[in-house]
Amino acid sequence: MKITAKKRSLGIWIVSLIAIAFGLLTLKEGGLILFGPAQYAEAAGQYVPFVLWFNFIAGFFYILAGVCIFRQRRAGAILSILIAVLTVGVFGAFVVHIVLDGAYEQRTLIAMSVRSVVWIILAVFAYGKLISRGNGIIQEAVRE
């Protein structure tokens, strides 16, 4: 059996780099607040711990999704969809926290909005490129 490299479109390159960069930045920022000197936690203000922990842990999955998208694996699309759904869910829980008069930072509201939109876009792109257009679960199973 001959193994050939799959050609990567510019879109695959861009989306995978965005996902990986997003993951690295998320791990750096979240890691500094969670594990760094106290000055980072103080500078973060009234952060919401469950949002911070979710985002920090998700950072590892952002990188994994980016690598899978780069390698053009359907797992990249599945992970992106899962990340998008979970991010929107945590964002919803964060909004409930705000409505119940919980302390929060305005920048967290903005960041969760951006994260939600970015991962929805990445998930739609990855689904379109890696699952729905002849590279999906059924097609791969038939080829094997």
C-alpha separations of 125 from 2, 4, 28, 41, 107 in Å: 29, 23, 26, 35, 27
Does 17 reside within a domain? yes
Does 3 reside within a domain? no
Question: What average pLDDT does the segment 13-26 reach?
Answer: 97
Encode burial over 91-109: b for 16+ CB neighbours within 10 A, e otherwise: beebeebeeeeeebeeebe
Q: What is the pTM of this model?
A: 0.86
Question: What average pLDDT does the segment 71-87 reach?
Answer: 97
For residue range 91-130, list pLDDT tens digits in order.
999 999 999 999 999 999 999 999 999 999 999 999 999 9
Does 128 reside within a domain? yes
For residue range 23-55, list pLDDT tens digits in order.
999 999 999 999 999 999 999 999 999 999 999
The pLDDT score that the predictor gives to residue 7 is 84
Does 5 reside within a domain? no
Q: How many domains does the chain have?
A: 1
Does 4 reside within a domain? no
Domain extent, residue 45, equals 10-143
Does 53 reside within a domain? yes
Question: What average pLDDT does the segment 2-29 reach?
Answer: 88
